Chains A and B, each alone.
Chain A
């Protein structure tokens, strides 16, 4: 379907506007990370200045931040991959199979998502502590399943529900097992849902603060906890926060670039068409 020149121009204009609006705070974050700390609050705001890498040096070179970032990545990826792997069958069961109390189960899946973190963390802390499970990435990833599984189950069940039932029925008639249907028929078609759920899972674990604070120490500390550490009793280290905040986006960008083909395929041109 051809598009008029005016429509094309409008599209580009809107896209540029959207990018500007959404990106300017991030641009500001990046600029702040390059400013000497005396300029952070300079007024009128300073856009042209002599950049310094000192904040990056402090964050990357003089602190353990890179290790904490790595922890965040490991924990996030683990929690996401495991969550998707177990949420897919559950979502399928809720959407397609005869489940007694389906509505209740589906709603109940969301309850862990609604719990305030502090209610959950103290008993968890005591259980972990008495079993020597504190301060390691696996324990934290396991805990994060409470954040990633519920919403994944929910999203995937909805997306699967939307797929035409006839496909399943045809496969059943052909003698396929449920597992085969799940893997061969549903999985390729539910890619958009998987992509959306994956991004959401990564988002939750990436940002999570309280569980990480209480359940980890020096070894498994994650990036958000480290960043909050830059707000101290005597001053906020703005330069370091901005640098750390920018650094935290680098793996996200990398993930986007590496996975973009799958993401885009999943989000825009999916459905196996």
Chain B
């Protein structure tokens, strides 16, 4: 739809201009670096062009694929849990009940706890020796669980932590979406005798598709790149059981300032992420009729 005097550029310029101003040069520079050898110990002597060497090195490293697999697995599980719980929570919050406002505000809090603090608090809660969860288990006569120490469990404990951290926001997002959904179709369906569940599944959910897509994209990006919480909770361990792709990139490149290599890994991450987002767009992003 085009208006008579559309000054499209004026609408787009501030936002894109700001983005370009902040990250334009850094992005160009890091892309440049990814094709060169830049290390703290060698950059004074020169920054030679190495073509795709950095990329090839990354792709040839088993650790890279291990981290990628791990990250995707983590992301999918966390995403699904957060979506299901988030939608459920949103439906709950849509009901009118006393104290709803207070509950809404309280539910904001887990999101805003500083990432490092989240890692540390959950380190205590999930600790084998000192943790509240294990204490509850032992009180119930059950054996203690090494939530973070057992390589097979650590990643799923991470899922629990992230679910705690962000489900409320997914719920808020869905709530926003529900607010934008017109009431009439839903009310009409109820009047016609549909059960609550049927109404939800056949009317509400499809109408929520756009906002679910927003939530999925947002969580995909954040979960894929998750770093602070993982690093402070487990450091990527036990061994590499929670070495998500950002932790891998950090260990491989940034810890020793091998910036050429680290930049290449970063762009591979962006490529992988873009690929996943494209799939999600295919599945959820297309506008319904």
Binding site for B on A (CB under 8 A): 1, 3, 8, 11-12, 14-15, 18-19, 21-23, 25-26, 28-29, 32, 40-45, 82, 85-87, 89-90, 92-94, 96-99, 105, 107, 109-116, 118-124, 127, 142-143, 145-146, 149-151, 153-155, 158-159, 161-163, 165, 168-169, 172, 177-178, 182, 189, 192-193, 195-196, 199-200, 202-203, 206-207, 209, 223-224, 227-228, 231, 236, 238, 241-242, 244-245, 248-249, 252-253, 256-257, 260, 263-264, 266-271, 273
Contact = CB atoms under 8 A, between A and B. Distances in A.
Dominant secondary structure at the A interface:
helix
B114 A245 contact: yes
B169 A203 contact: yes
Dominant secondary structure at the B interface:
helix
A11 B130 CA distance: 34
Given A114-B270, A270-B179, A44 B12 contact: no
Given A15-B103, A207-B114, A192 B180 contact: yes
Contact of A178 (B3, B105, B169): B3
Contacts of B131: 45
B150 to A, nearest CB: 19
A133 B245 CA distance: 32
Given A116-B269, A260-B101, A122 B16 contact: no
B221 A153 contact: no
Nearest to B117: A245
A184 B7 CA distance: 18
B18 to A, nearest CB: 5
Interface string B216-252: 0110010001011000000000000000001001100
Contacts of A11: 92, 95, 97
B106 interface: yes
Given A15-B103, A26-B109, A199-B172, A236 B120 contact: yes
B5 interface: yes
> Sorted from nearest, which 4 A-B pairs have the closest CB atoms?
A90-B15, A192-B176, A245-B117, A256-B105
Contacts of A264: 100-101, 104
